[in-house]
Amino acid sequence: MAEDTHRSVSIRRTATRQYVATNARGGELRFGEGSGGEFTPVELLLTAIAGCSAVDVDYIAARRAEPESFDVEAHAEKIRDESGNRLEDIEVVFRVSFPAGDDGDAARAVLPDAVAKSHDRLCTVSRTVELPSPVTMHAE
């Protein structure tokens, strides 16, 4: 059976500068310009980067021990210059703790390697941001 490599979302405007993204499985996510509590597209990008790596790291480390706490923070600086708007200095910080004992020790030992593997190879989102990835836009 061939792997399904196609990914897509659709976005529907619900109000002025308010939108709902829907994935192929029917999941929905509300976002907008950030005038209220909703996430902005930039915050969603940071969420996608951190979330992608969180899934990778969780998958690897939790096979050894269930975390007692698992927190991930992503932050960046928004730059506006002659090249246009973009983020610089994107950083993802993992704060994970595991229980005492051999299983927790094994999870703690693999944590730095899991974070590195996610960054260097596994996380599709951060790999796409770091590598040249053309984006094509057009109106129909």
What end-to-end distance do the CA atoms of the chain give, in Å? 34
| pLDDT tens digits along 8-62 | 999 999 999 999 999 999 999 999 999 888 999 999 999 999 999 999 999 999 9
H helix runs in the chain, sequence order: 41-61, 102-117, 124-130
Distance CA 45, CA 90 (A): 10
Pairing of strands 28-32, 69-81: unpaired
Residue-range domains of the chain with CATH: 1-39 (no CATH), 40-130 (3.30.300.20)
Distance CA 27, CA 123 (A): 21
Q: What Å distances lie between residue 42 and 33, 68, 74, 120, CA to CA? A: 10, 30, 11, 22
Res 1: pLDDT: 63
DSSP 43: H
pTM flag (> 0.85): yes
Distance CA 9, CA 131 (A): 22
| pLDDT tens digits along 73-113 | 999 999 999 989 999 999 999 999 999 999 999 999 999 99
In the chain, the amino acid numbered 40 is T
Spatial contact of 21 and 87, defined as CB atoms under 8 Å apart: no
Which residue bears the tokens 């050894």? 64
Q: In what order do the strands lie in the sheet with 9-15?
A: 9-15, 18-23, 28-32
| pLDDT tens digits along 111-130 | 999 999 999 999 999 999 99
